[in-house]
């Protein structure tokens, strides 16, 4: 979807939400700023889950997602204030991940608008289910994970599977600082309003 084909549904005044074009993968400053935003948000959101020094992503990974037309940004006055990755999993299911809203802009509804964009985009492309994944510590409560579980549940997501990260991403397991469950949520897009 090009910037011209963006879904205009933002209730945050002046917020521009659109896919980055594959051509923008060559803009190393842009790619680095998206990767930095994701890492900044996840450093807090996943505090205590990973071995010290582990980051959520890197510029090479973000560049590949931009090249595949999977990265959406939210801009306010030209500045990137949020992002999300949207990908196709199968014929029925799409997934959003790497959801991040700039900490200095928290409480404005940027995350909510990015999720709404992802869901609307999925509906428009004919997907029936939106999936998201949440990594949660098994033996203690991480405040960001508690908040996200409550928020996702409130907006219609339901747990569809729970397992160990080793079952889904075995290469990440050695980087964990604590035992975690990997929780997959689904939301039916078919019966939701457009």
Kindly state the helix (H) or strand (E) to which residue 88 belongs, with its residue range: strand 79-88
CA distance 11 to 16: 10
78 exposure class (CB count in 10 Å sphere: 0-12, 13-18, 19+): exposed
Structure tokens at 178: 């604590």
Residue 124, pLDDT > 50, answer yes
What would the pLDDT profile of 31-83 be if each residue is shown by its tens digit? 999 999 999 999 999 999 999 999 999 999 999 999 999 999 999 999 999 99
Q: Are 157 and 186 in contact (CB under 8 A)?
A: yes
What would the pLDDT profile of 128-153 be if each residue is shown by its tens digit? 999 999 999 999 999 999 999 999 99
CA distance 117 to 163: 28
Which one is predicted more confidently, 179 or 2? 179
Whole-prediction pTM value?
0.90
């Amino acid at each position: 979807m090009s910037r011209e084909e963006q879904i205009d549904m933002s209730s945050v005044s002046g917020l521009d939400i659109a896919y980055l074009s594959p051509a923008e993968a060559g803009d190393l400053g842009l790619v680095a700023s998206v990767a930095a935003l994701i890492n900044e948000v996840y450093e807090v959101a996943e505090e205590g889950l990973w071995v010290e020094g582990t980051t959520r992503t890197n510029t090479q990974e973000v560049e590949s997602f931009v090249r595949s037309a999977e990265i959406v940004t939210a801009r306010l006055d030209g500045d990137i204030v949020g992002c999300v990755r949207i990908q196709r999993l199968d014929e029925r299911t799409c997934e959003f991940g790497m959801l991040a809203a700039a900490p200095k802009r928290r409480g404005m509804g940027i995350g909510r608008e990015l999720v709404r964009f992802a869901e609307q985009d999925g509906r428009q492309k004919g997907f029936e289910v939106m999936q998201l994944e949440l990594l949660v510590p098994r033996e203690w409560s991480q405040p960001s994970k508690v908040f996200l579980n409550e928020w996702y549940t409130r907006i219609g997501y339901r747990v569809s599977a729970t397992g160990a990260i080793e079952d889904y991403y075995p290469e990440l397991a050695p980087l964990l600082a604590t035992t975690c469950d990997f929780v997959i949520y689904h939301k039916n897009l078919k019966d939701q309003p457009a």
